[in-house]
Amino acid sequence: MSKRDIWRNRIRTAVVLGALSAMGAVALAAGPTPGASPGPTKETREKMAVLHEQMAACLRSDKAIADCHAQMMKGCQQNLGEHGCPMMGMGMGKRSHGMRPGGDSK
């Protein structure tokens, strides 16, 4: 093996190791995956299911969307606490899933 071949192998090895290190750093910087959190307990999921069933019944009725939304928010706060309703614009997420009180989506 010539000196030239040895240097090529060393350079190739250094490039591969550098690329692997960079990919590893990117993967670590990304943090845990969204599905990695433990999620709500079975009891909390049951409460959420009941609230959503009540919301569905309200939406099927002749009530205004704003009334259904207010009812859902009230029930959510009562059953899941102040920070347990991120989908309703409360809690950690503070997002609304595109639902506006007027009944239109964004």
Mean pLDDT of 80-98: 59
Would you call 91 exposed, middle or buried from its count of C-beta atoms within 10 A (0-12, 13-18, 19+)? middle
> How does pLDDT run across 26-72, given as a tens digit for each residue?
877 776 666 567 778 899 889 889 999 999 999 999 999 999 999 98
State the pTM of this model.
Answer: 0.49
Q: What are phi and psi of 16, to 5 degrees?
A: -65, -45
Structural domain spans, the chain: 45-106
Query: Which residue in 54, 78, 80, 77 sits closest to 67, CA to CA?
Result: 54
Q: Check pLDDT > 60 for residue 95.
A: no
